[in-house]
Structures are given as structure tokens and as C-alpha cells.
Amino acid sequence: MISCPMPVSGYDRVVLGHGSGGRLSAELIQRVFLPALGNDILGALEDQATLPAIAGRIAVTTDAYVVRPIFFPGGDIGSLAVHGTVNDLAVGGAVPLHLTAAFILEEGLLLTDLERIVQSMRHACQACNIHVVAADTKVVERGKGDQIYITTTGVGLVPDGRVLSVHAAQPGDRIILSGTLGDHGIAVLSCREGLEFETKLASDSAPIIKLVEVLLAAAPRTRCMRDPTRGGLSSALHEIAAASGIGVELDESAIPIRDEVRGACEMLGLDPLYVANEGKLVAIVPEDEAQHTLAALRAHPQGQDAAIVGRVLAAPRGLVTLRSRIGGTRIVPLLAGEQLPRIC
């Protein structure tokens, strides 16, 4: 990367040369990336970012974002790539510190679209009090990508004494969900080519850092947390059930779902339990901490619809079941394949 000022070459779309490591790469950095994401560390343009000293346990997470379309109601691939990775740190109890971003651009991407996405990352980073400290851009030929893919990696600090583990759920624990299910997945689907339908729904894409702090303050013995993204609440609970060797029983009538999501799911033949969320938190908390934790979450603007949606059972181990409104119980299977491809 180059730090000398460069003239703009007048391209309005990404060309292969923008990934060359030469003058066009430098122009892209100067014109698009640094104005939005620049900070002292990224601006140093070294091959690696050297960061202030850390004392303690760090947490690291990485995710590739391939959501289609790249702009959707309530967000875009840029904000999603920040929120998703920050949230993965947060549910591990880590305080997000730094972010890296690697871009794979398809030749022909509009530079105005790239600028919009990078600006969106900037705002998301500001809201999370985090900086992009290292970045990379590659360009692939037309038909070898899909406009833009972004991989973000987050580095966070785990406060001393904080131990959360997917292996730690115990019979009797309660399952707290911070809000409505399925908003992100249905909002993205609503604007997907060939599938457009009218809805006022927006993605719930948002950082859940503050919600996590509220929860951990109210329930210091929280066993574990997840953000129920790809695969939805079902996948998150299956992971916990399998890892902890316990059963999970959901109470259908307690699960908050917006009317628009319920309607769209019926129309599309989807189960909201499997639809992705990008600003929700599911936590396993001891029974004696559940009620006041629920009250604390509900007092937070992002937690108004929070609910205790189920409990942990000693058996059947590894299974997720749903007690329906009319009293029956059914198994919630682990989804085999893809219900909603490229939702994040």
C-alpha cells in the first residue's frame, strides 16, 4: 500500500488493476478506503498493524460475508460484516477491540456501491467503538465473484474471571431470547431477485455489545450466549444441546415473532426457528437469575421484546423440542442443508 497522494483515474467501476498492488490499488485505498476507515493504525499502511499493548486473554473470531443482495432493508453487507463479527466476540464475553477486513471485489462493481458499503462499515465501527486496523483488497474477474465478499476478523479482550462455554448449560437453566426472531432473514429475502414481496420489515442487524453487558450484569452466572445468525435459533440451541449433553425445550407461545415475519414464513414455507437474526442474543442463565435478567433486558431499548422462551432439560440429551401452543411437543430437527442460502 502506498501513502503518497494519487490522482483519481476516473474509473466508475472496479477493474482488475484495482487489485494489482500498484497505482490503481493505491488510488482505491486513497479514494475509498482511507476516507471511510482511516485511523492512525490503518493509515500507517504497513503490511501488518502493530497495536497497543494488551494484558489479558484475547478472543478472536472470523467470518466471511456473502449476503445477497448486498443492500437490504435495514443494512448492507458492510454493516453486517461489522455487526456479525463484533457480536461473535460479544457473545463470548469479550470486549471488541480491533477489526480487520478483507475485500474480494468482482470486476465491474460500481465504485459508488463500494463507497456506500465502506461508509456503512465506518458508521457500524463507530457505533461499536472499534477500528479497522488492517485490510486487504483483491479483485476477481467478472463471473468469478458476486459484486463483493467481505471477511472480517475481530480481536477482543476477555475480562478476568469471565468464563462462558457452550458446554456449560445445566438442567433447570432458562433460555432467554432478547427479541423477535427472523427479522434479518425475511428482510433480506423480501428484496431478493425473483422473490420480492412487500413488507415494512427491516433487518435487525445491530451490535449487541450493550445488551450483552446488561445481561452479564444481571446474570453473572450466565452459562453461555449465542447470536442466532445463520441457521437461526434452532442451530444455536442444537450446538448448546450437543456440547452440553442436555435437552432444550422451547415454549412456542413465548417466542416473540413479528406478524410480518410470521406471514412471510407461512407464504414461503419457512420456519422462523431457522431464519437468521443479526441483532439478537440467546442466553442460557441459571433459573434463579432468569426473572430479574429478563426485566433488565426489557428495560433496554434493544431488549423490549425479550422473553424466556424455554428451559434446559436433563434429557433427551442433544435434542431440541418445542411445546406447541396447543400443548403437544415436537422435535425441532437440526436443519440438514440450506434453508436460505447466502443470508449473511
Minimum separation from the CB atom of position 218 to a second copy (A): 21
Query: What dihedral do alpha carbons 99, 104, 107, 112 form, nearest 10°?
Result: -20
Q: Is 230 in the site for a second copy (CB under 8 A)?
A: yes
By CB under 8 A, is residue 318 in contact with a second copy? yes
- Is 323 a binding residue for a second copy by CB under 8 A? The answer is no
Q: Which of residues 70-109 bind a second copy (CB under 8 A)?
A: 88-89, 91-92, 94, 98, 100-104
Cell, residue 35 = 476516507
Handedness of CA 205, 211, 212, 215 (dihedral sign): negative
Strands 174-177 and 131-140, by their bridges, are: unpaired
Instruction: Considering only residues 148 through 207, tell me which ones interact with a second copy, judged by CB under 8 A.
Output: 149, 151, 153-156, 158, 165-167
| Angle of helix 77-90 versus helix 209-218 axis, rounded to 10 | 20
The CA-based angle 165-58-216, given to 5 degrees, is: 45
Q: Closest CB to a second copy among 44 and 267?
A: 44
| Order of strands, sheet of 95-106, starting from the edge strand that comes earlier in the sequence | 131-140, 95-106, 148-158
39 binds a second copy (CB under 8 A): no
Nearer to a second copy, 25 or 302 (CB): 25
Window contacting a second copy (CB under 8 A); options: 28-36, 210-218, 230-238, 321-329: 230-238
Total residues in contact with a second copy, by rule CB under 8 A: 91
List binders of a second copy among 238-267 (CB under 8 A): 238-239, 242-243
d(C-alpha 241, C-alpha 31), whole Å: 48
Cα-Cα-Cα-Cα torsion 182, 188, 189, 193, nearest 10 degrees, comes to 180
Q: Minimum Å distance from CB 189 to a second copy? A: 15
Q: What's the min distance (Å) between Cβ of 178 and a second copy? A: 16
Q: CA 270, CA 293: separation in Å to the nearest integer?
A: 31
Query: Does 134 participate in binding a second copy (rule CB under 8 A)?
Result: yes
Q: Does 269 contact a second copy by CB under 8 A?
A: no
Contact pick of 35, 39, 57, 304 for a second copy (by CB under 8 A): 57
Distance CA 8, CA 26 (A): 10
Applying CB under 8 A, does 17 fall inside the site for a second copy?
yes
